[in-house]
Amino acid sequence: MAMRILIAEDEESLTLLLRYNLEAEGYEVDAVARGDEAELRLREQVPDLVLLDWMLPGLSGIELCRRIRLRRETERLPVIMLTARGEEGDRVRGLATGADDYVTKPFSVPELLARVRALLRRAKPGRVANLLAAGDIELDRETHRVRRAGKELHLGPTEFKLLEFLMQSPGRVFSREQLLDGVWGRDVYIDERTVDVHVGRLRKAISRPRSPDPIRTVRGAGYALDETYAPPSPPSPET
């Protein structure tokens, strides 16, 4: 069953962008533009996660978050607060809003998706698939194990996160900047060439003789995990 996400946001273009990307990741999305409407919706049905804008007509996000925490049915509901840069940034940090996480607008969509996944994984460990697969590579998020064609590979922590990030969207090309945001986080200032270094290490760690390179370099654009690389493998006996 798909995970349900409620978006409470009065900026229509942002709601559209979020809805599009969340649905592409397999989430079921419901959206409202007012805080009081969001509260009603939460009384009808409790979703798996809420993306809650700080400034909303009807009822502010901060007040709604407080009420969410007071109700027994929603006291543990994962909430990510969306805030505007500047006016609220520092206050959000200082206030005990009860939100599990918050992002500052404008934010990168891949980063927000990563936070949604991380929060759902923390809150609903049983409901999020921990095993990612692409071609002959398998990645287990829970045990942090990676195997290629059944053989265990040893990756450093950054290479693991990089591979996990790429495997979440096979075929999609990510710029160095998007990889930096998604893997290292938006607040970390490192050189984009660092991405190349880690992609190089990842390539080395997952390479196997006579097997194609699953990571594609797209000149001028970035990197992608090539979903078509896997050679048809003969059926192998169960081990």
- The residue ranges that bind Ca ion (CB under 5 A) are 10, 53, 55
What amino acid occupies position 145?
R
Q: Is the Cβ of residue 10 or residue 63 nearer to Ca ion in the bound state?
A: 10
Helices (H), 25-81: 35-44, 61-70
* Shortest Å, Cβ 17 to Ca ion: 14
Pairing of strands 28-32, 4-8: parallel
Q: Is the Cβ of residue 86 or residue 234 nearer to Ca ion in the bound state?
A: 86
Q: Is the Cβ of residue 10 or residue 196 nearer to Ca ion in the bound state?
A: 10
Residue 16 sits at the vertex; the CA angle it makes with 13 and 22, to the nearest 5 degrees, is 140
* Shortest Å, Cβ 63 to Ca ion: 13
> In angstroms, rounded to a whole number, what is the distance separating the alpha carbons of residues 188 and 203?
23
> In angstroms, rounded to a whole number, what is the distance separating the alpha carbons of residues 139 and 44?
37
* Shortest Å, Cβ 149 to Ca ion: 49
* Shortest Å, Cβ 105 to Ca ion: 9
First to last CA, the chain: 31
What amino acid occupies position 100?
D
Q: Is the Cβ of residue 55 or residue 119 nearer to Ca ion in the bound state?
A: 55
* Shortest Å, Cβ 59 to Ca ion: 12
Q: Which residue is nearest to Ca ion (CB)?
A: 55
Q: Is the Cβ of residue 13 or residue 239 nearer to Ca ion in the bound state?
A: 13
Query: Any idea which residue has 């599990």 for tokens?
Result: 100
C-beta separation of 77 from 86 below 8 A: no
